[in-house]
Each structure stands twice: as structure tokens, then as C-alpha cells.
Amino acid sequence: MDCNPLLDEDEFGYDIATFLACTQHIQYIKTGGLAFISDYQGDAEILTDPQVLTHPSVNQGKDTFGDGNIENEVSMFEKKHVCNDYCTWSGFGLARLPAVLEEPEASQ
């Protein structure tokens, strides 16, 4: 349910995960910040069982897409998404999102 790859750069499939994170960026922009697809499962040949995540305003309190619709993730997309090489490639024409990475709080 994250808008960034959950794999490390040296793990198999990282390049695919990075591309899918870019498609989420495209979906987010094309829907006016209302939705993106997440939770892809499968392997290098076929992806299945995606989850549609929508902004809270889309469902108006109704359970349209089930328990997997984590509305807060859509609301926080611009702050959480970290643009990658696909996002910044000029062919897609995406504006770099102002992702703000929170610094971990120092323990006291």
C-alpha cells in the first residue's frame, strides 16, 4: 500500500517496482489526486490482485473498494512519493512531486 518500492535496490524486481511506483505517480496526476493502484502481487511475468486506493472524497463514507482502500495513503501521496528516474524522464512530462521525507525524531 506504499507509493514507493518496498524492495532494496539490489533485490530482484526492484526495477519493476520502481516503474510501478512511477505508474502510481501517473495515475495520481491523471485522476486529479483522487486515486492510484497499489498492492500488486505476482512475478516478473504477470501481476495480479491490485488494490484501488482512493481519496476520502471519492467514496463519501461508503465502502466502495473494501478494507484495502487505505484512503490516507492517497491523501499523503505528494508527501510520501519519492520521484525516481522514470518519474523524472521528460517523456512522461511529470512534475516532480514535492515529497517531504520526515526526519526520524532523535531519542531523548
H helices of 5-50, where? 14-30
pTM above 0.85, yes or no: no
Quickly state the pLDDT bin for 56 (edges 50, 70, 90).
confident
Whose grid coordinates read 495515475? Answer: 27
Angle at 67 between CA 2 and CA 76, to 5 degrees: 35
pLDDT score, position 107: 46
Where exactly are the structural domains of the chain? 14-88
pLDDT score, position 27: 94
Is pLDDT at 28 greater than 90 in this prediction? yes
CA distances in angstroms from 91 to 26, 28, 35, 36, listed in the order given: 12, 17, 22, 20
Is pLDDT at 17 greater than 70 in this prediction? yes
Assigned superfamily of 14-88: MHCK/EF2 kinase (3.20.200.10)
* pLDDT (tens digit per residue) in 58-98: 877 666 666 556 777 888 899 889 999 999 887 888 888 87
Q: Which amino acid would we find at residue 46?
A: I
